[in-house]
Chain A
Amino acid sequence: MWSYYFNELMRSLPFFLKGLWMTAAVSGLSLIAGTIIGFIWGIMRSSRNKILRSIIGAWTDLIRGTPFLVQVFIIFFILPSAGIELEAFPAAVIALTNMGACFICEIVAGGIMAVPNGQREAATASGLSTYQQLRYIVLPQAMRTILPPLVGQYVLIIKDSSVVSAIGVVDITRVGWLTVQRIPEGIMVFGLVGILYFVICYPLINLSSLLERRMTVVATKL
């Protein structure tokens, strides 16, 4: 029986690869958009404008305080009643982008605040504009603090993308769920699902800790 199911599972491997592609598409798009938006929000969050700072702070708190599944449901079920019809795929990308951006925003803001104030004062004294300060003085130094947790956040985004299977996006987790209805060997089916995620996430986790070690070594040398 076991070998029969195993052969069945191997036969549905193309289906799993399609799911892998969907997971890559959802998390890849959200990762890119989330990084861009997260950096913009993070820079605004660490700016001197108090209103801007507290609006973004409140928003990130709301998003960080509620489960991602609930956010997905809110975007997928509630936006249509406001007249915005969304397919499952764009709803998933929007939800994941927003959540990723909120976490990245805090990482970026933290990195920028960690740059000593004297650096900025020196830049102002040298006559650099706000943009130039950010571009040439603050961000390059902040990147050292930002990069390791940023890669860690990418892993979280890829893993959280499994949650969008709940609204019917056919990603790896959804493929596993559909397959297990046909091949009732949960260990085998979700073992395969796990392996596929592991192959993507494990190298990234290692990259994150490698970066962390690298960056701290540089920091202590200074």
Chain B
Amino acid sequence: MLEAFNYRVILEYMPLYMQCFAATLWLSAFSLLGAILVGTIACAMRLSPSRVVSRIAGIYIESIRSTPLLAQLYFFYFGLPSLGIMLPEWITGIMALTLNSGAYYAEIIRAGIQAIPFGQIEAGIASGLNYFQRMRYIILPQALGMTIRPMLGQAIVLVKDSSLLSLISIMELTRAGQLLTSDRFMPSEGFLTTAAFYLVIYYMLKGFSGWSEKRLIFREAH
């Protein structure tokens, strides 16, 4: 299998790989920012005192968590045109990734907020802090410390999930492997190189996760 491994082809395709690596990075980065935003909003809605609002967020979160990303991706990819909405593939891709990870971020943030004992919030109210001050000085610093690890874990999942975008013909790392396979029929070179690039991102995020665990010690606060 590997005795015929052709490094020269990989070098030849390196510019393509670097381009696709950059594409995977920015697609994931955009989706990550979007997902954290969507997740925060969905979480705020989920915890809202209004039954209806909370229910809507609940339906969103549960339906996303109970269906595979690929089905959601195809839902938008084939569904939006049938509604007459034509979008470029990469917008559809980012949208699907954002909405998918957003549901998971909502649950992560909720777990972080609910882990804070209610007494602290009551103490905040008693000290005369308003809602934003309580959020800013009491809840968020502690919730962030507790959720940083699962959040980075979800970021890793998101980067890996972005490989599915190759199935709607977006140029990114997995697509580069597919191209090398179809152009030269060299699947080993193609997909092992792709895997190596993903591992670079994975080990970086994993290292950052370990570092943040040591450095960000607000989780000790309670």
Contacts and interface: CB of A to CB of B under 8 A. Distances in A.
Contacts of A193: 67, 71, 74-75
B80 A66 contact: no
A198 B66 contact: yes
Contact of A186 (B1, B79, B167, B194): B79
A69 B166 contact: yes
A30 interface: no
Contacts of B164: 67, 69, 163
B105 to A, nearest CB: 16
Interface in B86-108: none
A140 to B, nearest CB: 27
A73 B78 contact: no
Interface string B162-193: 11101100000010011001000001100110
A73 B153 CA distance: 24
Interface string A192-205: 01100110011001
B65 interface: yes
Contacts of B76: 186
A68 to B, nearest CB: 7
Interface residues of A, number: 44
A173 B70 contact: yes
Interface in A167-185: 172-173, 176-177, 180, 184-185
Contacts of B195: 62, 66, 70-71, 74
Contacts of A64: 202
A79 B198 CA distance: 20
Contacts of A176: 71, 74
A173 B198 CA distance: 25
Interface string A41-85: 000000000000000000001101111111101100111011000
B68 A66 contact: no
B63 A198 contact: yes
Contacts of A161: 68
B47 to A, nearest CB: 17
B163 A197 contact: no
A64 B4 CA distance: 27
Contact of B68 (A70, A74, A197): A197
The 3 nearest A-B residue pairs measured at CB: A186-B78, A65-B202, A186-B79
Interface of B: 1, 4, 62-63, 65-72, 74-83, 156, 160-164, 166-167, 174, 177-178, 181, 187-188, 191-192, 194-195, 198-199, 202-203, 206
Given A73-B178, A201-B65, 14 more contacts: A69-B174, A73-B181, A73-B191, A77-B181, A78-B187, A81-B4, A159-B69, A163-B68, A185-B82, A186-B75, A190-B79, A193-B67, A197-B66, A198-B67
Interface of A: 61-62, 64-71, 73-74, 77-79, 81-82, 155, 159-163, 165-166, 172-173, 176-177, 180, 184-187, 189-191, 193-194, 197-198, 201-202, 205
